[in-house]
Structure 1
Amino acid sequence: MLRHAKALAAAPGAPDDWDHARPLADRGLMDAAAMGRLLRERGWRPEQALVSTAARARQTYAQLGLQPPDGSTAAAFHDHLYLAEPDSLLDALREAPADADSVLLVGHNPGLHELAYRLSGEADALQRGFPTCMLAIFAVEGCWSTLDARHARLLDVVAP
């Protein structure tokens, strides 16, 4: 689970739909690229990516550079992941392809943090928050459709 990287601040008086269109700030672009390098160094490429349609989430995923030239990582962009509640995010993971060994979920707080904290068994590493461009890596036992805290184990928490 990856929270999108740092985005531009909301402009005072901006239209309601501007939040969905907010792009990454320069720091966010650099952080997402750094996270991508770290993941590639570790040899980790998700087989499936579930990404919010918000501009900052889409840009974060693009900056990771995880999409191989042959397009073998499937990315699915979903409106319902934008500012989603933890249960909606969990439902999205449960609907991941059964044959996907690894899934990357790129989303937003507070839902992403709440779900990661719940699945981790309230791990100390997640108690203090889930800042931008933070990644929580879980090992999942069984199939995606039955994912819950009993079938997930927090392996690592990484920030660029």
Structure 2
Amino acid sequence: MVHAYHHVITGFAAKMSAGQAKKMENLSGVLSLRPEGVYQLHTTRSPYFLGLRQNSGFWKDSNRGKGIIIGVLDSGITPGHPSFYDDGVPAPPSTWKGKCEVAGCNNKLIGIRSFIKGVSPIDKDGHGTHTASTAAGNLVDNANVGNRFTFCKI
């Protein structure tokens, strides 16, 4: 067993062969087995895909999330990424109880934590940074898929 889950679901993660998984799948009480997969990023165009344009539509008519705190559970985050620069961003509310387990928090990126003991919250594959920057990142000029951690061009 690699990890046991108790808070949102009851389950566990384990390393096993395909044969062991097949046997486990037939046990009573087992609802679902899901193999682990590693996926490659394929887009720098998520905002465009979502219909978000810099000077028209939803973003133009919104306050762009001003005053909203977004929590992202993913593969980690890359502090210091231009999507998370805090120029002109006010400090978080005094009632904020977030934690920064690594250096890099600022007024834009107000919490960085790992919920797995011994695992760094720093993003290793870029997915968490991509997801968080799509949800709450700054606009970044000249982003491209070749620049591994710059995924926010609109």
Normalised to the residue count of structure 2, the TM-score between the two structures is 0.22
Find the structure with the greater CA-based Rg.
2
Structure with the bigger percentage of helix: 1
- The higher-RCO structure (CA 8 Å, 6+ apart) is 1
